[in-house]
Structure 1
Amino acid sequence: MPVLLLLSCLAGAVRAQQQAPAYMPATGDASVDRRLADINEYASRYPAAFADEMGRYYAVPRAYVEAMQQQPDWTAGDIFMACALAQIVGQPCRAVVREWSRDHEGGWKAVAARLQAEPGNPQYRRLRSAIDASYARWGRPAPAGEK
């Protein structure tokens, strides 16, 4: 009987995982999308290290990051994107969080465009460099499919 219960629980977990929508940040840059999805995985394993990174390098209070991590509508990838984008455009993270919360119909690409940091421009290149720097500090390899 315990084996059947365990198998039933495992089957339920697999179904829930299959039904969960895939994370789609829609940045307009497939490489950034993959990295934000990978940041979700990293932060799920190392939430304190993720919060430290955001505080130390993106000037976001650790308590704010931890509170955002508890919000069901926010992923670590979204938190990272909001705060890194904010730093690049010279705004506080909370301002970009509000902008995303107000309207994110077009994904992060649309939010970045409203902040004059759309893919291809110098600010967006700085964003990509910031992501690379975080990966280097974490000693984390690029997600599969990247150089």
Structure 2
Amino acid sequence: MTPFRHSLLLACLLGLLAPAAFAQDAAAAWAPATGDAVVDVRLADINRYAARYPEAFIDELVRYFDAPRPLLQDLLGRQERKPGDLYYACALARVSGRPCRGVIEAWATGHADGWQGIARDLGVAPGGARAKRLREGVAESYRRWGRPLPDGG
């Protein structure tokens, strides 16, 4: 193989591999920090699900979490929020008796302690009754989607 062909082949391979590596790095960098490792795994999986089935994801949040469709479409369309963050905000809202929009706004104004801090502020303690209801709600969403729960518990 000539040096030119070798360089051309290498450039082509790097061009094909670089986007995949970047996507993996971006996915690995996202960490919801809910304080519950199982929920964190499921939220990462929800990101993948929503990327493939955005309308089904939005329908779930609108129908079962009383989330405003235009807000979800706007935030997802502009890629300002990860689907897992939106799902968790609405799930926290449901178990704490607050509106989904309010929890999304709380996240937007500051989340130095991650979702764990916001959950704590909303009275959702790890291992508590509300946290258990939240986990059950995630399982219900998976059943409606016809999707197996990812490993994690």
| TM-score, normalising length: structure 2 | 0.86
Equivalent residue for 2:86?
79
Gaps of 5+ in 2: 1-6
Q: Which residue of 2 aligns with 1:94?
A: 101
- Where in structure 1 do 4 or more consecutive aligned residues deviate above 4 Å? 1-6
Q: Distance in 1 between matches of 2:65 and 2:8?
A: 48
Pairs within 5 Å for 1:1-147: 6-20=12-26, 21-143=28-150, 145-147=151-153
Q: Work out the percentage of aligned pairs sharing the same amino acid.
A: 44
Structure number with the bigger relative contact order (C-alpha 8 A, sep ≥ 6) is: 2
Distance in 1, Cα, partners of 2:21 & 2:52: 22
Structure label with greater radius of gyration: 2
CA 27–8 in structure 1, closer or farther in 2 if over 3 Å, else same: same
Determine the C-alpha separation between the residues in 1 that align with 2:102 and 2:51. Answer: 25
- Contact persistence 2:107–2:118 (CA under 8 A): yes
Q: Per-residue displacement from partner, 1:40-76 (whole Å, max 9, x unpaired)?
A: 0000000000011111111112222111212434100
Q: How many positions carry a matched residue from both structures?
A: 146
> Which residue identity does 2:23 align to in structure 1?
Q
Structure 1, residues 27-48: CA drift from partner, whole Å, max 9, x if none?
A: 1110000000000000000000
Amino acid of the structure 2 residue aligned with 1:36: L
